[in-house]
Amino acid sequence: MSIAHASAAVSTAPIEPSNDPNAQAYAKALDALAARQQDNGAFAGEVIWNPMLVCQYVFVCHIVGHEIPEARQRLIHRSLEVQEFPGGGWGMLPVVHPDDPDEPRAFQGEAWLFHTTLGYVTLRLLGAAADDPMCARARAFIAKQGGPYEIPTWGRIWLALLGMYPWTGSQPIMPELWLLPESAPMHPRRLYCHMRLIYLGLSYLYGTKLVAQDSPLLSAIRSELYPRGYDEADFERYAERIAATDLYEDPAPALKKIFGVLRRADRLMPGAVRKRALAKAMEHIRFEFRSTDYVCLSPVNGFLFCLALYATDPGDPDLARGIEAMEYWVWEDERFGTRFAGARSDIWDTSFLLQALAEGPATEAAQRIAKAATRWLPTAQMQADVTGGKRHFREPAYGGWGFANENHPWPVSDCTAEALEALMRAQTAGLSDEVGQLQLGRKLAAVEFILQRQNDDGGFGSYEPRRGPMLLKHYNPAEIYGNCMLEYSYAECSGSCIRALAFAERELAEDMPGALRTRVREAVAAGRAFLLSQQHEDGGWLGFWGVNVTYGTFFATSGLRAAGLPLSHPSFARASRWLVAHQRPDGGWAESYLGLLEDAPHDLEHGEPSTVTQTAWALLTLMDIAPHETDAIERGLAYLRQMQRDDGTWPPETPSGVFFNTSVLDYELYRQIFPVWALARAIG
């Protein structure tokens, strides 16, 4: 077996592909991936989440009077059916379905009151009878929790919009915060962009107290949720109580006191001030709609913005465009029904695959896939800033790539880093189409974009550098999510950014202006120090966007290698010891999402198989920092080959993506791309 490091070329003896089982597995996998490549050259796998978003879509359509076609209603019902938990209800974690419909589904976690209540109301809004089996099971779960009284705040707001929870029972999300001076420590501009835009929409709706027009159907659903009667006085004692099934991070006592003050302020707020606040919020809402061609940063804030427009003017022409643009996030088929993805990952997935191909042998299949991918990926780079973005708290976008595709103008640090490195590596390996060979100016623009996302501690944020003090993390009102208030310095983003900056500086050499080269070197040195400071006591790096230490360690070590840390450094020895110690008897690796809840490594239960995704991350790391661990590496590669199917693909498995501690995501293409990368590194 030969091993080529991603961060430094290693000369190895050639291997005859036809006699090497890794090369054979690699060739089969490329044939399978070629069938998944889109006509434009991109790769797009679904990022599978729980059914919360499709429920919110149904709520929005009902409130604004947008008719959902009968065929889609049926498919939404199907999506809830396939995601239902045993015993009824829905939860935060997606349900994994095997390719064979006759095999049992794989469940993680349990049903939540939030998702189950939204699911129940959705089914009823779509015409399901109260005694429909799914409805009956969901209602039984809700009743077991004592009703929806203790649903988290975001659930209270969605129910309040339908007249099923009093607005006074939710957190006071005041639109007047948008009138604060931008220097104020509590100005919303300091929040992480997803939270900022979600709370922008929520604050507008709270300020207007929008409630859908009542109807016999809504009245019936309300009576089903509250069989003892709906009396707003009953909700007062639940103001600070959240269902144990749903609560992850209880708002701090100081924040609860602030809520009390704001509730009183809301009752006393002069109408003129509220009007000014709503106008300011609407200015930001319209900017986000129009600057993204209405697809918005995510479907969550897009749904809320549609409701905000409706609250102001049901005939607003932007409303119809907003509803139509939400189709951007839809995945739909007969087996799994209609889903809304919280993110699209075309750029992300394509960039990783290109890097894998650049490390593997330049076979005909690899060249064909890579040339098509390199024709598309440059088209997704931002080649201009977002006009007027500064007034709406947008960072410069020029030179960046986003997570999704060319139709989503929200670029990200590590997506830019991975795309830049992918295109440059493909060009160096002779795999890139001429159209995909970035001009120098665009490479330098990407480098500048990445530098702008570095935090003072040397680490890198995602969409933006951190804007607020870390104190704000203790004022998280979200209840169901953690670490969501601010941009952090993430091990994964930092590893990607350091690796790309170091690679660009080396490859561009004298073509990089001297002042920029100095800044790059300083950024890499600071990032290296940050990553070294973040190594967990067990030896790895905790993940934030993936499960968990195998993910964080893969990115962190590759960044440190690119930053010039020698293989003899003790941090690499500690990391490799952790990986080898956690290799399972089957040769693979597998961690549980529970580690994200505990901020510590947490192995998957022994009865569950290892995942090829996490196995690939571990192998890529070991081949890079500990190539002498040949036994562990060979066993891991054997596991990948063993799990590969005859058609070259790998089967569905426990999800390995996550965000905000609790939200597990199933990246459909992770289990196809990262094993290919590990095989490519083994034979390249």
Could you give the residue numbers annotated as active site?
Answer: 414
The tokens for 333 are 């088929």
Determine the length of the chain.
684
Phi, psi of 540 (to 5 degrees): -105, -170
| 483: number of Cβ within 10 Å | 19
CA distances 575 to 567, 597, 620, 670, Å, are: 11, 21, 13, 22
Beta partners for residue 664, in sequence order: 658
H helix intervals, 209-291: 216-225, 253-268, 271-291
Starting at the edge strand found earlier in the chain, the sheet holding 663-667 runs 47-48, 663-667, 657-659
Is residue 27 within 8 Å of residue 365, measured between CB atoms? Answer: yes
What CA–CA distance (Å, rounded) separates 439 from 363? 26
Beta partners for residue 667, in sequence order: 47
Burial of 231 (0-12, 13-18, 19+ CB in 10 A): exposed
CA distances 48 to 44, 487, 644, 658, Å, are: 12, 23, 22, 11
Torsion sign across C-alpha atoms 257, 263, 268, 271 = positive
The tokens for 219 are 């009245």
Burial of 116 (0-12, 13-18, 19+ CB in 10 A): buried
Pairing label, strands 657-659, 663-667? antiparallel
What CA–CA distance (Å, rounded) separates 684 from 671? 20
The tokens for 325 are 């643009």
Is residue 498 within 8 Å of residue 465, measured between CB atoms? Answer: no
Torsion sign across C-alpha atoms 104, 107, 110, 114 = negative
What CA–CA distance (Å, rounded) separates 522 from 516? 10
What CA–CA distance (Å, rounded) separates 508 from 500? 12
CA 441, distance to chain mean position in Å, is 30
Is residue 612 within 8 Å of residue 588, measured between CB atoms? Answer: yes
What CA–CA distance (Å, rounded) separates 211 from 16? 69
Structure-token match 């970035």, residue found: 438
What CA–CA distance (Å, rounded) separates 574 from 626? 10
Phi, psi of 131 (to 5 degrees): -95, 10
Is residue 376 within 8 Å of residue 42, measured between CB atoms? Answer: yes
Amino acid at the residue 567: L
Is residue 125 within 8 Å of residue 58, measured between CB atoms? Answer: yes
What CA–CA distance (Å, rounded) separates 323 from 588? 44
CA distances 64 to 74, 219, 286, 324, Å, are: 20, 18, 18, 13
What CA–CA distance (Å, rounded) separates 160 from 165? 4
Is residue 414 within 8 Å of residue 401, measured between CB atoms? Answer: no
What CA–CA distance (Å, rounded) separates 48 from 60? 21
Which string of DSSP letters, residue by residue, matches 341-404?
Answer: -S---HHHHHHHHHHHHHHS---HHHHHHHHHHHHHGGGGS--S--TTGGGGTPPP-TT-EESS
